[in-house]
Amino acid sequence: MPCTDVIIIGGGLSALVAAKKLSKHKNVIIFTKSTKTSSNSYMAQGGVAAAIGKDDDWSSHFKDTMAAGCHYNLSDQVRTLVQQGPAQIKQLMKEGLEFDQETGGSIALGKEGAHSRRRILHAGGDATGKAMTTFLLHQISDNVTIIEQEMAVDLITERGRCRGIKSIDKNGSVRHHFAEHTVIATGGVGSLYKFTSNHSSVIGDGIAMAYRAGVELVDLEFIQFHPTMLYQHGEVLGLVSEAVRGEGAFLVDEHGRKIMDNVHPLGDLAPRDVVAREIYNQIQQGIDVFLDISPVSNFSKRFPTIHRLCQEHDLNGSPLLPVIPGSHFLMGGIKTGKGGETSLPGLYAVGEAAWTGVHGANRIASNSLLEGIVFGDLTAENILSKAPSLLVNHPVFSNAQTFKGTLPEKDAIRWMMAEYAGVVRNQQGLTKLKKWLEEFFDPHGPITIDNRETAEKVNMLTVAWLITTSALARRESRGGHYRTDFPVSSTEWKNKRITRQLQKQAAVI
């Protein structure tokens, strides 16, 4: 039975960073259900946060990260992130990755919400993700096999260990790939929602697969809604990075009144949940909200991607960009330790699919590319330190029932999630959503799936159900999780986390 050293599912930044280190010693195959450049990582605009400025140090980055995360972050992991981040970034620069510079040649550092210093490195203006992904793809091109358009649908497990993946290839055929180590790098859950910044392929597949394999998940109720999606005729056109507000842009209502001044001391650069909620409330009252970009000098040069987006939709005639909040980032995910290890031996998780604990209840801007770099590297190091396990001779395939049922349209799931598990939640809406989701599938029963469309829908329903039921269980508001019926943070919930595992009740630990 052919067996690869390492399989990585997903081709975003965290996958590429891990693959780069692993491929020096191991055979690595990356499977992506889309193309090499179809990922959230590739679309990342604002940049990557690292305390490299003269007036900056890791302890300030630590403090800001903890404050934005409502001090719900794992402080040890945050320390690892902000202490190791600058060295990792400098190493990439040494290898040839170029960030934007000031005219004098120093690195240009941007400012984003809740950061007390200028510490955001960016490339190509607002095309940081594209620059970093392209650079890493080039670095690994000789040593890593990347298989595009092949979707992982389930994990193969044997005697309590992950042994690889079941997948569906571009022709629709089911395949089995065996590996000594399997890494989930499938990103977050953004495209579970009607309005989102995320790539359409990012719907929580890895989290659903891990759940079906009995792997422990945590903090799934914490979802960040980005305040400013460019919005026209009922559709999101793309993201307007927070860095735009960092350069002076501000939010106004349709009468030109600034909306953030009396809401938070940080005004337009308040934490994202605060800004997103204010915009949401205005829109609920029938008031349109705009981002006024007139204070931003050289907008087209500093933010070429966003400028192009505006041009494409005839929105470059006015400095007022119509905006709406949309799902952006999952703080929770597959529970991992420092080296990406999950509760299932042989299985690791990196990037947004993983919960490392660094983001707490709300991610601070530009820390997720950094998380992918730091923990992608630590995960590779951890895998390289492992002694070989026994290879699979007689793989045992799951005897779970193949899923056969009637499923809703993907857009219906997205609409229900936005309506009842979105920026603002409550008991009534979440209960309605839970009942609706349970009409289509049994979230407690082991199932297996043999075609891509069904797999995507089942995964969407599974993750939607996990988010909904976790949000129901957390009877308070904190960071990205806001309930109108429990609008404040409670001391009782301060140190509690909701963990999820197949065939186990949601546990509060």
Ligand X SMILES: Cc1cc2nc3c(=O)[nH]c(=O)nc-3n(C[C@H](O)[C@H](O)[C@H](O)COP(=O)(O)OP(=O)(O)OC[C@H]3O[C@@H](n4cnc5c(N)ncnc54)[C@H](O)[C@@H]3O)c2cc1C
Q: Which residues bind ligand X (CB under 6 A)?
A: 9-15, 31-34, 38-41, 43-48, 128-129, 151-152, 185-187, 197-198, 201-202, 205, 239, 329, 351-353, 366-369, 372
Q: Write down the least CB distance from residue 128 to ligand X, Å.
A: 6
* Exposure string over 225-254, b if 16+ CB within 10 A, otherwise e: bbbbbbbeeeebbbbbbbbbbbbebbbbbe
Choice between 32 and 468, CB closer to ligand X: 32
Q: Write down the least CB distance from residue 296 to ligand X, Å.
A: 17
Q: How far is the C-alpha of 234 from the C-alpha of 398, rounded, in Å?
A: 43
Q: Write down the least CB distance from residue 19 to ligand X, Å.
A: 11
Choice between 69 and 372, CB closer to ligand X: 372
Choice between 322 and 376, CB closer to ligand X: 376
Catalytic residue selected from 272, 363, 414, 452: 272
Beta pairing class for 320-330 and 333-335: unpaired
Active site residue 272: yes
- Please enumerate, as own/partner, the contacts of 262-265 that have beta carbons within 8 Å and a separation of 24 or more: none
Choice between 31 and 290, CB closer to ligand X: 31
Beta pairing class for 447-448 and 401-402: parallel
Max CA separation in the chain (angstroms): 69
**272 and 364 Cβ atoms separated by less than 8 Å:** no
Q: Write down the least CB distance from residue 69 to ligand X, Å.
A: 14
Q: Write down the least CB distance from residue 17 to ligand X, Å.
A: 8
Beta bridge partners of 166: 154, 176
Beta pairing class for 498-500 and 217-218: antiparallel
Q: Write down the least CB distance from residue 405 to ligand X, Å.
A: 20
Q: How far is the C-alpha of 344 from the C-alpha of 37, rounded, in Å?
A: 29
Q: Write down the least CB distance from residue 203 to ligand X, Å.
A: 7
In Å, how far are 43, 194, 321, 506 from 238, measured between CA atoms?
A: 10, 13, 12, 35
Choice between 133 and 477, CB closer to ligand X: 133
Radius of gyration of the CA atoms of the chain, in A: 22
> Count of alpha carbons within 13 Å of 476, Cβ hemisphere only?
14
Q: How far is the C-alpha of 429 from the C-alpha of 310, rounded, in Å?
A: 35
- Please enumerate, as own/partner, the contacts of 471-476 that have beta carbons within 8 Å and a separation of 24 or more: 471/221, 471/421, 471/425, 471/430, 472/427, 472/430, 472/431, 472/434, 473/221, 473/498, 473/506, 473/508, 474/221, 474/498
Active site residues per annotation: 272
